[in-house]
């Protein structure tokens, strides 16, 4: 029978663990903290900033809200990063991108203390990830691993090490922030790892790979990319994609809201209802991987705090 993985419950479980560890640190006079760095007023960045603040409050972390005007120079942004690097209340720094065009991502990210780079933006930490060394794994890829590890322990009743070793894992998508680090994290766990992308699709080779996957991880940002014909019977499917799509009824007519506008909804890259029955386990969208992602960021901040105070 298919198991729909309860990512919301996993996210809550992780938050409880973080809260417990934070209390223990606070008893020693140490409080972990996250600083966000916003330059200008990008809408998506402001939304994300608000979420980070909320999660910090929930976890009992310090939160520092650094905002610079859109006209700030690159030097001023780098200076702000250096101040946060030196601030003992800040364990982790989150630059909220996109920055205004005149600010180089590269210059800002390279000025972050590598021990405060909690979403693994810095090339040093990406290098460590590639080498399989301890680092801050980026939040979304770390969420995928956390979901699979907890599934292995609780549902499959196997040690995560045995779960990954030799498993046929196929990743769809190879972006630097999601697909590629996911592939590195599973490769570092000795999975037989294939990475597919838009060129695999263009050559008509996507299905050849995905149907061989024991574990299929999809991060392409294309609604409906994966249907039942792309999935092996009994596979575990992790859908990272988040897409907004228009809603139509069975006759193909647009479904309207009370204001007369066409309704839209959030879906993943996998046709959930059509694929579900074929799988051993699957994550939904919404309430899927995204429910764990922010928690992994908090976990990284906790780790950064322990590194800072030399208790790790
Ligand atoms: P991205 O930078 O646009 O990368 C998408 C990747 O998918 C690229 O490697 C692209 O290949 C590949 N791709 C596109 N169309 C494809 C196709 N038809 N067949 C095979 N591969 C295809 O996006 P991203 O930042 O990696 O994010 C991927 C998805 O995850 C998005 O939907 C995003 O919203 C979602 N996301 C979710 C979370 C979460 O917490 N759940 C967090 C971050 C992102 P090429 O590079 O060769 O074009």
203-256 pLDDT per residue, tens: 999 999 999 999 999 999 999 999 999 999 999 999 999 999 999 999 999 999
pTM for the model stands at 0.96
The backbone region for 66, taken as left when phi is positive above 0, alpha when psi lies in -120 to 50, beta otherwise, is beta
Sheet of strand 281-282, all strands in order from the earlier edge strand to the far edge: 3-4, 281-282, 236-239, 215-218, 168-172, 192-196
Residue 158, ligand 1, Cβ within 6 A: no
Residue 177, ligand 1, Cβ within 6 A: yes
Please provide residue 215's backbone torsions phi and psi, each rounded to the nearest 5 degrees: -130, 120
Tokens of 44: 């998506």
Same fold? 29-113, 139-291: yes
Tokens of 17: 């663990």
Q: In whole numbers, what is the pLDDT of the chain averaged over residues?
A: 97
Measured in Å, residue 5 CA sits from the centre of ligand 1 at: 21
Given this model, what pLDDT does residue 75 score? 97
Residue 287, ligand 1, Cβ within 6 A: no
Measured in Å, residue 241 CA sits from the centre of ligand 1 at: 7
Residue 241, ligand 1, Cβ within 6 A: yes
At residue 303 the predicted structure's pLDDT band, cuts being 50, 70 and 90, is: very high
**Percent of the chain predicted with pLDDT > 90:** 99
Please provide residue 35's backbone torsions phi and psi, each rounded to the nearest 5 degrees: -115, 135
Given this model, what pLDDT does residue 312 score? 78
Residue 187, ligand 1, Cβ within 6 A: no
> Per-domain residue ranges for the chain?
29-113, 139-291
- Dihedral Cα 231, 234, 236, 242, nearest 10 deg: 40
The stretch 11-19 carries a mean pLDDT of 98
At residue 1 the predicted structure's pLDDT band, cuts being 50, 70 and 90, is: confident
Between CA 169 and CA 192 the distance in angstroms is 6
The backbone region for 40, taken as left when phi is positive above 0, alpha when psi lies in -120 to 50, beta otherwise, is left
Residue 172, ligand 1, Cβ within 6 A: yes
247-292 pLDDT per residue, tens: 999 999 999 999 999 999 999 999 999 999 999 999 999 999 999 9
Write the CATH number of the domain with boundaries 29-113: 3.40.50.10860
Between CA 226 and CA 176 the distance in angstroms is 21
Given this model, what pLDDT does residue 37 score? 98
Tokens of 237: 């499917």
Between CA 278 and CA 301 the distance in angstroms is 38
Give the CATH number of domain 139-291; options: 2.40.128.50, 3.40.190.10, 3.40.50.261, 3.40.50.720: 3.40.50.720
Q: Which helix (H) or strand (E) holds 109?
A: helix 105-110
Residue 120, ligand 1, Cβ within 6 A: no
DSSP 3-state assignment of 57? helix
Between CA 175 and CA 246 the distance in angstroms is 25
Residue 3, ligand 1, Cβ within 6 A: no
Using most ligand atoms within 8 A of CB, pick from 120, 138, 178, 290 the residue to mutate for ligand 1.
178
Measured in Å, residue 285 CA sits from the centre of ligand 1 at: 15
DSSP string, 38-54: EES--HHHHHHHHHHHH
């Amino acid at each position: 029978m298919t198991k729909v993985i309860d990512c919301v419950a996993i996210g809550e479980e992780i938050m409880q663990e973080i809260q417990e560890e934070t209390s223990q640190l606070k008893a020693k006079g140490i409080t972990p903290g996250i600083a966000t760095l916003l330059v200008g007023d990008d809408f998506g960045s402001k939304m994300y900033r608000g979420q980070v603040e909320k999660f910090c409050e929930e976890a009992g972390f310090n939160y520092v809200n650094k905002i610079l005007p859109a006209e700030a120079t690159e030097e001023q942004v780098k200076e702000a990063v250096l101040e946060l690097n030196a601030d003992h209340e800040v364990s982790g720094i989150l630059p909220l991108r996109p920055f205004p065009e005149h600010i180089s991502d590269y210059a800002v990210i390279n000025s972050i203390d590598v021990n405060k780079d909690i979403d693994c933006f810095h090339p040093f930490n990406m290098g460590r990830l590639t080498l399989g060394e301890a680092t801050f794994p980026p939040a979304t890829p770390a969420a995928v691993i956390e979901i699979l590890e907890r599934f292995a322990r609780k549902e499959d009743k196997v040690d995560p090490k045995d779960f990954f070793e030799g498993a046929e894992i196929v990743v769809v998508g190879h972006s630097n922030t999601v697909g590629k680090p996911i592939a590195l994290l599973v490769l570092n766990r000795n999975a037989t790892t294939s990475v597919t992308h838009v060129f695999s699709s263009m050559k008509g080779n996507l299905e050849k790979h995905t149907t061989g996957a024991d574990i299929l991880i999809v991060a392409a940002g294309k609604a409906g990319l994966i249907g039942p014909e792309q999935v092996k019977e009994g596979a575990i499917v992790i859908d990272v994609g988040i897409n907004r799509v228009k809603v139509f009824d069975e006759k193909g007519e647009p479904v309207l809201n009370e204001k007369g506008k066409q309704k839209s909804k959030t879906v993943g890259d996998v046709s959930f209802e059509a694929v579900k029955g074929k799988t051993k386990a699957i994550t939904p969208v919404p309430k899927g991987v995204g429910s764990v992602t922010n928690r992994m960021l908090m976990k990284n901040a906790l780790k950064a705090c322990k590194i800072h105070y030399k208790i790790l």
